[in-house]
Copies of this chain bind each other. A is one copy, B any other.
Amino acid sequence: MEINGVEIEDTFAEAFPIKIGRVLITAATKRWAEIAATEATGFGTSVIMCPAEAGIERFATCDETPDGRPGVYIQICTFKFDILEHQLLERLGQCVLTAPTTAVFNGMPEAEKQFNVGFKLKFFGDGMESQKEIDGRKMHSIPLMEGDFLVEENIGAVSGIAGGNFFILGDSQMSALTAAEVAVDAIKELEGTITPFPGGIVASGSKAGSNNYAKFMKATANEKFCPSIRDKVPDTEIPADVKSVYEIVINGVSEEAIKKAMAVGIKAAVTVPGVKKITAGNYGGKLGKYQFRLHDLF
C-alpha cells in the first residue's frame, strides 16, 4: 500500500489500556491558556519514569467554552485511577491555579468516573473561597493575588488507550523530523487524542526489556530501527536509503480517536519530501489489548 508514493507497511501498532483525565483550561488569551497547559503537561512523556503521560489535546474557541474565553483541552494519563487523582490535584494545583488568568473546567462532565479535584483545591482559599455557577457548572471561586481563580467541582476520567503509534522513516534526519512535526500539528486539530512526547515526537523509540542489561533496564533502544548501527544489527529493519526514524506516540479516549489520529498524522507525514516509509511498533501481538492495522486506517 502506498500513499503519496510512500510505502505504508502491512503491520500494526500495539496499544494498551490507560486511565485518562481530561481538563479544559481557559485563560484571558489563547497564549496564557497554552502556557498553563504546557506547564501542567510537562515532565509527562512516558509513565516509565514520569509521574504521568500528559499533553495538549486541542485548542477550544471562545464559543465552545463555558466562560466564553479561549481554552485548551489537556489529558493526564496514568495506569491507575488513584494515581490519576493525585496527578490531577498536583498538576492543576501547582501548574494551573498558579498560572496567570486561568480557570479550570471539567473536560469530561459526562464520564462515569469523576474526581472532586476542584472541591479539594478550594481549600487554598483558606476560608475566603465561595461557590458560583457558570453555564450550569458548579464552580469554586478562590481569591488569589491576581484576582479570583475558578475551578469546577469535578474532573472526569475514562479508561482510554496509550501507545497508539506510527514510525516515520526518512532519507535524512530533517526529512523525518519535519514529517513528524507536520503529523503532530495535524493531530493537534483533532478531538480526543494527545501526543505526549516532547513536541509530540519520540526520538528514541524503545523496546521492552534489554538484551544486555536486562537486570536493571525496563526499556532500551529498539536497535532494529536505529540507522547508525544498521550494519551491526543482523535483523535491522532499516532500508538502505533511510537515515533516521521518528515515532509518534498517541494516547486517546477511544479506539476511534486513536484511529483517526493515526490516519490524519500519516497522511500529513507523507506530504514531506524524503519520507521513505511508514510503519508501526508492536510486540508481535503478544501484549497488546489493542491492535491498529495501518492498512485498515485508510
Contacts and interface: CB of A to CB of B under 8 A. Distances in A.
Contacts of A247: 145
Given A39-B42, A186-B70, A146 B199 contact: no
Interface string A80-103: 000000000111011111111110
Given A70-B185, A126-B211, A204-B149, A94 B143 contact: no
A246 B127 contact: no
B99 A203 contact: yes
Contacts of A205: 144-145
Contacts of A62: 182, 186, 264, 267-268, 271
A280 to B, nearest CB: 13
A246 B149 CA distance: 13
Given A123-B213, A143-B229, A273 B43 contact: no
Nearest to A281: B145
Given A62-B268, A174-B174, A98 B197 contact: yes
A217 interface: yes
A181 interface: yes
Contacts of A61: 186, 189
B186 A228 contact: no
B68 A4 contact: yes
Given A176-B146, A274-B172, A43 B45 contact: no
Given A198-B36, A273-B147, A126 B43 contact: no
Nearest to A202: B98
Interface stretch (A14-22, A25-33, A154-162, A283-291): A25-33
Interface string A190-204: 000000011101111
Given A62-B267, A198-B36, A204-B124, A243 B147 contact: yes
Interface string A112-127: 0000000000011111
A126 B223 contact: yes
Q: Across chains A and B, which 3 residue pairs bring their CB atoms closest together, nearest first? A: A42-B42, A127-B212, A99-B198
Given A123-B217, A174-B178, 10 more contacts: A28-B177, A29-B181, A39-B197, A39-B199, A40-B43, A50-B94, A96-B198, A124-B219, A143-B223, A143-B226
20 contacts: A29-B178, A36-B199, A39-B44, A41-B43, A49-B93, A50-B95, A61-B189, A68-B268, A68-B271, A69-B271, A99-B199, A100-B201, A125-B221, A126-B210, A128-B229, A128-B232, A145-B227, A147-B244, A172-B172, A178-B178
